[in-house]
Chain A
Amino acid sequence: DTEVTQTPKHLVMGMTNKKSLKCEQHMGHRAMYWYKQKAKKPPELMFVYSYEKLSINESVPSRFSPECPNSSLLNLHLHALQPEDSALYLCASSHSIGTVGEKLFFGSGTQLSVL
């Protein structure tokens, strides 16, 4: 299994809603990532988890709250988002971090629209 699975594929939410994005991988990877991608732009790193601990937070607003319940799962909890947060949210995984040659494997993303 070389897949990273993300749900839901599409999400529409209001600014007062609370929702969660989910990501799952069964490749035994110990590093998992959240990226945000605006249309026609490259992915931008948000968070990195290594061995289920938050390793990197790229100064992301607190309305985005990541969670890594176990080595296979990664969640992104959303609360009080703004319309400018509308984007494609990508999850990725790799064997680990800090080693040269780490390939990231990406899911298909959740297309989020905030109304």
Chain B
Amino acid sequence: GESVGLHLPTLSVQEGDNSIINCAYSNSASDYFIWYKQESGKGPQFIIDIRSNMDKRQGQRVTVLLNKTVKHLSLQIAATQPGDSAVYFCAENNGNNRLAFGKGNQVVVIP
């Protein structure tokens, strides 16, 4: 389930199940979005990106969905594995040469 409080929002998921991580962005002018994965002690690692002229993009076991009407981005991970345990950040290019990161979601995979 999910918990929100002083800690990062956390999604606990059984190994083998699908995960969905959500992100709301604020700037309707943003034209490019990226999902990053950050494991403990490491820097953010690129997962998948999408431009604003698309609403869906698929990678290996991951799918990003973009809903510009409600300014919402989601990352779907199929058949979640223990190695998927990490913090996931969405980021938007708001047109000022700056990549703005969202708050982050912790994913915990239960073996």
Contacts and interface: CB of A to CB of B under 8 A. Distances in A.
In terms of DSSP, what is the predominant structure of the interface of chain A? loop
Contacts of B41: 108
Interface in B88-111: 89, 93, 97-99, 101-104
Interface in A92-109: 92, 97-98, 100-109
Interface residues of A, number: 25
A45 B99 contact: yes
A55 B46 contact: no
B97 A43 contact: no
A113 to B, nearest CB: 14
Interface of B: 7-8, 31-32, 34, 36, 41-46, 49, 51, 87, 89, 93, 97-99, 101-104
22 contacts: A6-B43, A40-B87, A41-B103, A42-B103, A43-B44, A43-B89, A43-B101, A44-B101, A48-B97, A48-B98, A55-B97, A56-B97, A56-B98, A90-B43, A100-B32, A103-B49, A104-B46, A106-B36, A106-B43, A106-B44, A108-B42, A109-B42
